[in-house]
């Protein structure tokens, strides 16, 4: 049986020669993303801004497209609909209205009139901005704890240089994801936070695969320069990296174009995350090992090994 390979066996692409250019591009994108975040900010969804929550039950299976159209014509701003449990149960979120409690009540009355008398209301709640602030804090905490846990894991699994390299690549992916959402004014909600955590998991998995090959080659080629060894390691895992990324992107593109409005933001974040995560694994995480002076002695136990020179032909 012949295995599928996107990259011919024996490919020798000199990825390390692009590391400075990639570092400049990534640094510019990080600065731009930070600038957008602090000036333009994010388009927070109802989950974070607060709003009106209606849980309704329809006589038959709900037609989300029809219901969304009826509610969108009311001029209440952002409206989200989501099937909730049974096909007849729908969760309706309407953005927070001006005018305090009276404004929220008027919006609920308009929504009830548009949905008709056949719909029964199981729950009506007002989500205040305080709850949104707590959700933002919880989301940031979740991302930071995930990054810290990954740093500790890779530190013990490999060496401290690998741990720092992986976390820098992860921070790069997270910051650029926030930047693209700010640039395009895409809605940032709880599903986006879930996407960022998923991106972190995907990116770290990609990085660990390459790092594992680096460690294997450090033991195998004891006199090869680190520059050449890193190129060899990336090329050795390139087929797997591309195959995984492409198959994941096919599924995500299907979700983005055919999955409906509810998961469109999540799908977009994941597509961007797969692309930027693949890039960072190759051009950020691995080249950082050169700048952090990775040594072989901590990786090869029980042997007297003299660290080979970096051997960087560009420096």
**pLDDT in the model for residue 196:** 85
Give the C-alpha separation, 215 to 221, whole Å. 10
Paired tokens of 92: 């309706």
Return the SS3 of 31: helix
Neighbours of 36 (CB within 10 A): 18
Is residue 155 within 8 A of residue 167, CB to CB? The reply is no
**pLDDT in the model for residue 29:** 95
Give the C-alpha separation, 293 to 155, whole Å. 16
- Tokens 């051009």, residue? 283
Give the C-alpha separation, 281 to 170, whole Å. 9
Residues of the chain with confidence (pLDDT) below 50? 1-3, 300-308, 314-315
Is residue 263 within 8 A of residue 189, CB to CB? The reply is no
Is residue 25 within 8 A of residue 287, CB to CB? The reply is no
> Residue 227: which of 161, 289, 306 has the closest Cα?
289
Neighbours of 87 (CB within 10 A): 12
**pLDDT in the model for residue 310:** 53
| Residues facing 92 on adjacent strands | 54, 81
> Residue 96: which of 52, 130, 60 has the closest Cα?
52
**pLDDT in the model for residue 57:** 84
DSSP assignment of 272-296 equals HHHHHHHHHIIIIITTHHHHTT--S
**pLDDT in the model for residue 139:** 73
| Helical ranges in the chain per DSSP H | 19-39, 46-49, 64-72, 100-115, 129-157, 160-183, 190-220, 226-258, 264-280, 288-291
> Residue 116: which of 168, 155, 68, 67 has the closest Cα?
67
Q: What is the pLDDT of residues 77-103, one digit of tens each?
A: 778 787 766 778 888 888 777 777 788
Q: Are strands 43-44 and 187-188 parallel, antiparallel or unpaired?
A: parallel
As a CATH number, domain 15-41+132-291 is 1.20.1640.10
Longest dimension (CA), the chain: 82
Is residue 282 within 8 A of residue 174, CB to CB? The reply is no
Give the C-alpha separation, 161 to 295, whole Å. 9
Determine whether domain 51-127 maps to CATH 3.30.70.60. Answer: no
Neighbours of 173 (CB within 10 A): 27
Give the C-alpha separation, 210 to 163, whole Å. 13
Give the C-alpha separation, 71 to 194, whole Å. 27
- H/E element holding 86? strand 86-95
The domain locations on the chain are: 15-41+132-291, 51-127
pLDDT above 70 as % of the chain: 86
Q: What is the pLDDT of residues 184-243, one digit of tens each?
A: 988 888 788 888 888 888 888 888 889 889 888 888 887 888 889 999 999 988 888 888
């Amino acid at each position: 049986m012949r295995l599928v390979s996107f990259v011919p066996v024996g490919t020798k692409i000199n990825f390390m020669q692009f590391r400075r250019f990639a570092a400049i591009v990534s640094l510019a994108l990080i600065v731009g993303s930070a600038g957008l975040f602090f000036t333009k900010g994010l388009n927070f969804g109802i989950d974070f801004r607060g709003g009106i929550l209606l849980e309704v039950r329809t006589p038959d299976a709900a037609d989300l497209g029809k219901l969304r159209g009826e509610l969108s014509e009311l001029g209440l701003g952002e409206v989200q609909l989501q099937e909730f449990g049974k096909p007849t149960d729908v969760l309706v979120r309407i953005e927070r209205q001006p005018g305090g409690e009276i404004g929220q009540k008027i919006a609920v009355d308009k929504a009830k009139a548009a949905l008709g008398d056949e719909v029964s209301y199981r729950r009506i709640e007002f989500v205040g901005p305080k709850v949104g602030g707590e959700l933002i804090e919880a989301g940031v905490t979740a991302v930071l704890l995930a990054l810290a846990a990954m740093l500790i894991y890779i530190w013990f699994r490999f060496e401290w240089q690998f741990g720092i390299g992986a976390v820098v690549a992860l921070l790069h992916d997270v910051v650029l994801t926030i930047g693209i959402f700010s640039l395009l004014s895409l809605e940032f909600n709880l599903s986006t936070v879930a996407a960022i955590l998923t991106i972190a998991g995907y990116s770290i998995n990609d990085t660990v695969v390459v790092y594992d090959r680096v460690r294997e080659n450090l033991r195998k080629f004891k006199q090869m320069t680190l520059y050449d060894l890193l190129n060899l390691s990336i090329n050795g895992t390139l087929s797997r990296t591309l195959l995984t990324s492409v198959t994941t992107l096919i599924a995500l593109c299907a979700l983005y174009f055919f999955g409906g409005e509810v998961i469109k933001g999540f799908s977009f974040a994941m597509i961007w995350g797969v692309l930027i995560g693949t890039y960072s694994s190759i051009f950020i995480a691995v080249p950082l090992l050169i700048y952090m002076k990775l040594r072989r002695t901590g990786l090869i136990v029980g042997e007297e090994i003299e660290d080979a020179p970096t051997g960087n032909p560009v420096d």
